Amino acid sequence: MNTNTTPKADVYTRVTDKIVAALEAGVRPWMQPWSVEHAAGRISRPLRANGKRYQGVNVLLLWGEAMDKGYVAPFWMTFKQALELGARIRKGEHGSLVVYADTLRKTETDEESGEEMERTIPFMKGYTVFNVEQIEDLPERYYAKPVDPLPACERLEHADRFFRNTRADIRHGGNRAFYVTSEDYIQIPPFEAFRDAESFAATLAHEMTHWTRHPTRLDRNLGRKHWGDEGYAREELVAELGSAFLYADLGAGTGDPRRPCGLYRQLAEGFEGRQALHLHGRQSCATRRRFSARPAERRPSSS
């Protein structure tokens, strides 16, 4: 009897329900909630107890928890980790869901040929973490007060260097932002057309994520046939997540998370949405490793 089916489905459902609930409230849960720096360093994504950054859908889950509960500290840890540090969870506090996703390999015998075949089986399990603001008696480094962030001009220069280092073909002009896969170039309106420098950088981060789909890079094909179909929506979701993660890592700023979310809500409610979230968590990391990295909010584009 397979005992893994129910827990696996339950974790998928819990993750999806949390994301859909945020979208129904008009909030994109992939928008970075922190607008401050921390004494431990620049805040990009939620951090584990050892200082390593969370990845993939866990970023969305913990950003959402931080927004809902007003947490500023970026560190999260398990009950056991808190105990090992001589700390304790405050009475009445409730933890937050994060997930661990991986694959296992199983050798099976083909009934017709009798040959042994290796099958890869994906799995996901959930566990609970607490923000350090829910924990007492931790070492002082976890409670360090925020420090002043870098001036906006320096943060945007950092983002600009990243974009240049990708060597992408970026063309300026017109009144729309989009990526043309067949000719492998990004079109973006001139800098002066945007309300501020952050909006320009965030829009470019979105189109740069589309740029990674090219066959010579990540070769990402989510089934898009025409504008507005399911494949289009899935690719747009990947680009939204990619720009948010990238902009956060670049430290270029944050945006207003309250924007129309209907397209993403419809996608997240289906199995395809869960697959896109899981897929993006792996692919975005590969892109950042190749070019060294950091996103925010953006104006909708036609890509």
- The answer to which of 144-158, 215-229, 270-284 has the lowest mean pLDDT is 270-284
* Residue 217 pLDDT class (50, 70, 90 cuts): very high
* Residue 11 pLDDT class (50, 70, 90 cuts): confident
Residue with the bigger pLDDT between 277 and 18: it is 18
In this model, does residue 212 exceed pLDDT 90? yes
Residue with the bigger pLDDT between 198 and 171: it is 171
**Residue 262 to residue 25: CA distance in whole angstroms:** 11
**Residue 45 to residue 71: CA distance in whole angstroms:** 13
The pLDDT value given to residue 297: 33
The pLDDT value given to residue 208: 95
In this model, does residue 281 exceed pLDDT 80? no
* Residue 224 pLDDT class (50, 70, 90 cuts): confident
The pLDDT value given to residue 66: 87
**Residue 22 to residue 258: CA distance in whole angstroms:** 10
- The answer to which of 1-10, 23-32, 189-198 has the lowest mean pLDDT is 1-10
Spell out the residues 6+ positions from residue 250 whose beta carbon is closer than 8 angstroms to its own.
155, 158, 159, 162, 201, 205, 293, 294, 295
pTM, full prediction: 0.67
**Ranked by mean pLDDT, which of 6-15, 133-142, 230-239, 259-268 comes out on top?**
133-142
Q: Which amino acid is at 91?
A: K
Spell out the residues 6+ positions from residue 275 whose beta carbon is closer than 8 angstroms to its own.
none
Spell out the residues 6+ positions from residue 203 whose beta carbon is closer than 8 angstroms to its own.
177, 188, 194, 298, 299, 301
Buried b / exposed e over 162-187, threshold 16 CB at 10 Å, is bbeebebebeeeeeebebeeeeeebb
pLDDT in tens, 154-189: 667 888 899 999 999 999 999 999 999 999 999 999
pLDDT in tens, 84-118: 999 999 999 999 999 998 888 888 887 788 788 88
The pLDDT value given to residue 278: 44
Contact 250, 162 (CB under 8 A): yes
The mean pLDDT value for 253-269 works out to: 47
- The answer to which of 57-61, 126-130, 283-287 has the lowest mean pLDDT is 283-287
Pairing relationship of beta strands 170-172 and 185-188 according to DSSP bridges: parallel
The pLDDT value given to residue 2: 43
The pLDDT value given to residue 257: 38
The mean pLDDT value for 265-291 works out to: 44
The pLDDT value given to residue 123: 84
Pairing relationship of beta strands 96-109 and 116-131 according to DSSP bridges: antiparallel
